[in-house]
């Protein structure tokens, strides 16, 4: 699977770690993950946003693995936060997650998610 990620030169470069465009090869099968919240593998939801973010990324890795995929198959990520996150922590975890090959990405701050204690939701789209 060769997902082409690029940043066209006719628009401003990305302001963070993401790609403007992700092109999926013809005949690829899409694998769409529901938004993952920050609970751990035992279902425990920590109180802080940083741990919730790390757990949500780990949940995505585990789901991809269950489908025989890894992050190289991901072409789109949507991230929603309900409060500010430590920027250095975010950059560290996000960089490690995408391994210097960020997909098309949307990050937004929202008033609320499905339950008040949920501070993070991360949705991933992959192709095989």
- Look at residue 15 and tell me if it is in a domain: no
- Look at residue 6 and tell me if it is in a domain: no
- Look at residue 5 and tell me if it is in a domain: no
Strand partners of residue 100: none
CA dist., res. 24 & res. 35, Å (int) = 21
- Look at residue 80 and tell me if it is in a domain: yes
- Look at residue 54 and tell me if it is in a domain: yes
Task: Tell me how many domains the chain contains.
Answer: 1
Residue 64: give its domain's CATH number. Answer: 3.30.1330.40
Confidence (pTM): 0.89
CB within 8 A of 95, min separation 6: which ones?
Answer: 17
Dump pLDDT digits (tens) for 17-72: 888 888 888 999 999 999 999 999 999 999 999 999 999 999 999 999 999 999 99
Please identify which residue in the block is written with the tokens 């790609």.
19
Q: Which domain holds residue 107?
A: 30-127
Tokens of residue 128, six digits: 């095989």
């Amino acid at each position: 699977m060769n997902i082409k990620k690029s940043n066209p030169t006719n628009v401003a470069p990305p302001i963070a770690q993401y790609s403007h465009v992700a092109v999926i090869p013809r005949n690829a099968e899409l694998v769409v993950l529901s938004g993952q919240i920050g609970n751990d593998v035992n279902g425990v939801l920590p109180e802080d946003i940083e741990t919730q973010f790390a757990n949500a990324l780990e949940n995505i890795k585990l789901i991809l693995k269950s489908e025989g995929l890894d992050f190289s198959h991901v072409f789109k990520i949507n991230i929603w936060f309900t409060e500010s996150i430590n920027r250095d922590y975010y950059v560290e975890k996000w960089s490690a997650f995408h391994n210097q090959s960020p997909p098309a990405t949307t990050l937004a701050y929202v008033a609320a998610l499905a339950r008040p204690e949920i501070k993070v939701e991360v949705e991933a789209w992959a192709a095989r």
